[in-house]
C-alpha cells in the first residue's frame, strides 16, 4: 500500500489495476482475504470494480479512470473482475481447487472474445464471414510471430535495462536482481 499512499498524498495521476482472477495461486479469494472488494482497499483512493471479461466495460472504465487522473484528481483503482481458465503456473494444473464444469461454465458465459463477437453480430458491426476472416488473419500473424521469436536468439541482458525511463542516460545505474547483474555506473549522478 506504500505506492497507493504516496500516490494519494501527492495526487499522482496513476491508475492502479488489480487483476482479480478469483484465485491466489490455488486459494479462493474468500479464503485468503478478509476484504475481497479489492477496489476499496485504498480507502483514500476512489475505485471501481469492472467486469474484466467485457471488452467494452474495460474500455469505458479505463477511459473514466484516465480522465480522473488527467483532471488532476489523483490516482484511481480499477479492480478487473476476470477469470483464469488455466492453472497459475506450470506446476498448477488448475483442477485441484476447482472443477472443469466451473471453468467451462465461465468460458461459456463470460469469454471476452466470444462476448465481443456476439455484440458485433447483434449490432451488425460485422458478419460471421468477416469475423472468421479476421480470426484466420490474426492466427496467421500470431503463427508468423511465434516462428520469428523461436528463430531469434535471446536479447542481450543489457536490453532489460533500456527504455525504462523516457530520457534515460545510457550510463544511469539500474540495479538488477543482484548487484552483479546491475547495469550502468554505480557512481552515476543525474545532471543538474
- Say what the pLDDT of residue 172 is: 87
Query: Is 90 exceeded by the pLDDT of residue 89?
Result: no
- Report the largest interatomic distance among the alpha carbons of the chain, rounded to a whole angstrom: 61
- Say what the pLDDT of residue 128 is: 97
Query: Is 80 exceeded by the pLDDT of residue 191?
Result: no
pTM over 0.75: no
The residue whose grid cell reads 477469470 is 83
> pLDDT tens digits for 125-174?
999 999 999 999 999 999 999 999 999 998 888 888 888 887 888 888 88
Contact in structure between 89 and 28 (CB atoms under 8 Å): no
Q: What angle (nearest 5°) sits at the alpha carbon of residue 18, between those of residues 16 and 22?
A: 175
Residue 45: other Cβ atoms inside 10 A: 19
CA–CA gap between residue 152 and residue 3 (Å, rounded): 37
Q: What angle (nearest 5°) sits at the alpha carbon of residue 118, between those of residues 138 and 19?
A: 70
- Say what the pLDDT of residue 44 is: 83
> pLDDT tens digits for 7-64?
999 999 999 999 998 887 667 777 777 777 877 766 789 999 999 999 999 999 999 9
Amino acid at each position: 500500500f506504500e505506492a497507493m499512499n504516496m500516490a494519494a498524498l501527492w495526487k499522482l495521476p496513476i491508475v492502479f489495476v488489480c487483476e482479480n482472477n478469483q484465485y491466489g495461486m490455488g486459494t479462493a479469494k474468500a479464503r485468503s482475504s478478509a476484504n475481497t472488494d479489492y477496489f476499496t482497499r485504498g480507502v483514500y483512493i476512489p475505485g471501481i470494480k469492472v467486469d474484466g471479461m467485457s471488452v467494452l466495460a474495460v474500455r469505458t472504465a479505463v477511459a473514466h479512470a484516465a480522465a480522473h487522473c488527467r483532471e488532476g484528481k489523483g490516482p484511481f483503482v480499477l479492480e478487473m473482475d476476470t477469470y483464469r481458465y488455466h492453472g497459475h503456473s506450470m506446476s498448477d494444473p488448475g483442477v485441484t481447487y476447482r472443477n472443469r464444469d466451473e471453468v467451462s461454465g465461465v468460458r461459456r458465459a463470460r469469454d471476452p472474445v466470444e462476448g465481443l463477437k456476439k455484440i458485433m453480430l447483434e449490432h451488425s458491426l460485422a458478419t460471421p464471414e468477416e469475423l472468421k476472416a479476421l480470426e484466420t488473419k490474426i492466427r496467421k500473424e500470431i503463427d508468423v510471430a511465434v516462428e520469428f521469436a523461436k528463430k531469434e536468439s535471446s536479447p542481450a541482458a543489457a536490453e532489460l535495462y533500456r527504455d525504462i525511463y523516457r530520457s534515460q542516460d545510457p550510463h544511469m545505474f539500474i540495479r538488477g536482481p543482484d548487484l552483479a547483474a546491475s547495469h550502468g555506473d554505480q557512481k552515476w549522478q543525474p545532471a543538474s
